[in-house]
Amino acid sequence: MSVTTITASTNSSIGGSANASRRHLRLKRSHLIFGTEKRFFLHQCVQNVPFMSPSDISRQRHTRVEAGWLFKGGGNQGSDASSERSDSANEDILIFFYQLDLATRVQYALNLEEYDIAKQLRNKLNEVETEVIKQQETKRGSSSKSEAQDKGISILRLRADLQNAIENENYSLAAEIRDQISKVEADSLAASIKAQAFQKAQFEFRLGQKVRHKKFGYRAVVCGMDPVCCETSSWMESAHVDQLTRGPDQPYYQVLVDVHEDPNLLVAYVPEENLLAPEEPDKARFDHPYTSFLFYGVDSAGDFIPVKQLREKYNRPRHEVPYDPQDERSGGDA
C-alpha cells in the first residue's frame, strides 16, 4: 500500500507515506539512542521538519492525495461520487496530522531534556496553530460575528452620510448611498445567520461513526463536521448542492471513504441528508490510510474512537458505548 501526493510541494512532511514512514520509524527507534547519537538524532528531527508558514498552509489547498492500492476492488461509484471529493477537507486533515507530528516531536525533545530543540519545534508548532485557528474562525463563524458587527458600524456611518446628502439636496449621491446601505445590510444579515448557525449547530452523526452514502452506497467514517457547507461556490456548483432538499444550510461532514469500495475518493465532503447510519453495528473491516492517526481504534459497536485532539478540534464530547450485558455473556468486548 502506498499514498502518493499529487501536485504537492516537494518539501512537505505530510505528503508521501514513504517519508512519513521513515520519520515514524526513526521516532520508534529513538528509544535506543543514547549519548551523542541522541543529540544528533534530535537535530536531524528539527532539520527534517519543514517550516510551514501561513502561506505554505494556504498553498496546501492545491494538494491532493490519492491512494494507490495493490487491490482493484471496490464499487463502481466512479465520477459521480467524485463530485463530493474535497481537496480543502483533505488539506484540513493533513495539516491536523502535521500538528500532531510536531507536538510529538516537542514532547520527545522535552523527555530527553533537549530544551533548545524543543523550543525550536514549539515555535514552529505555535505558528502553525495560530494560522489554523484563524482559518477555523473564518470557516466556523467566529469572524462572521465580528464581520456583522463591523458592517453594523459601516451602516451607521453610511446613514449619517445619507442624512448629510439629503440636507445638502444632493439627491444623486443620496441614491448611491441608499444602494450601498442596502448591500451592506444584506451582507451583515448573511454574516449574522452564518455565525448563529455555527453557534446552534445540531449534528445527527458523530466523530468516528461509520456511515453509508445514500446515493453512492460506499461505507465511510466521519472525521470532521461543519454546521453548514463551507466549500467554495464552484465546488457547490459541481456537487449540485442546489439540488439538495436542504441545500447548503445543513451540516456537512468530512468522511473517510473505505478504500476497498472506492480507492480514489479517499476524503469526501457530504451533506447530512446523504448519509445513513447502519441499522446494525458495522463491525466489518474498514481500511483507510488516515485512520491510524485520527482514531485510537474501534469500540465494541464497530465505530472508531477519535483521538482527544480531534474531539477538541470540533469541541465534541466523548462517546460512550452503552453497556450491553449480552456482550459479556457472548464473550464480546464491552
Spatial neighbors of 247 by CB under 8 A, at least 6 apart, are 241
Q: What is the pLDDT of residue 59?
A: 52
Q: What is the pLDDT of residue 31?
A: 38
Q: What is the pLDDT of residue 319?
A: 82
Nearest to 290 by CA among 97, 125, 11: 97
**Rounded to whole angstroms, how far apart are CA atoms 331 and 329?**
5
Q: What is the pLDDT of residue 2?
A: 34
Q: What is the pLDDT of residue 145?
A: 52
223 touches 310 (CB < 8 A): yes
Supply 150's cell numbers: 463591523
Q: What is the pLDDT of residue 57?
A: 47
**Rounded to whole angstroms, how far apart are CA atoms 239 and 181?**
33
Strand ranges in the chain using DSSP code E only, listed in sequence order? 2-6, 64-68, 210-213, 219-226, 252-257, 267-271, 275-276, 295-298, 304-306
> From the CB of residue 273, how many other CB atoms can be counted at a distance below 10 Å?
15
**Rounded to whole angstroms, how far apart are CA atoms 235 and 239?**
6
Report the SS3 class of residue 306.
Answer: strand
Q: What is the pTM of this model?
A: 0.65
Nearest to 274 by CA among 241, 315, 323, 313: 241
Q: What is the pLDDT along the chain (334 residues), one digit of tens a residue?
A: 333 333 333 333 444 443 443 344 333 333 333 444 444 445 555 555 555 544 454 454 444 444 444 334 444 444 488 899 999 899 999 999 999 999 999 999 999 999 999 999 999 999 888 888 777 766 655 445 566 667 778 888 888 888 888 988 898 998 998 999 888 888 777 777 666 666 677 899 999 999 999 999 999 999 999 988 989 889 999 999 999 999 998 999 999 999 998 888 899 999 999 999 998 999 999 999 999 999 999 999 999 999 999 999 988 888 877 666 665 555 544 4
3 touches 16 (CB < 8 A): yes
Q: What is the pLDDT of residue 122?
A: 92
Dihedral (Cα; 285, 286, 289, 290), 10-degree rounding: -130
Q: What is the pLDDT of residue 235?
A: 93
93 touches 290 (CB < 8 A): yes
**Rounded to whole angstroms, how far apart are CA atoms 108 and 114?**
9
What is the distance of C-alpha 12 from the center of its chain?
Answer: 18
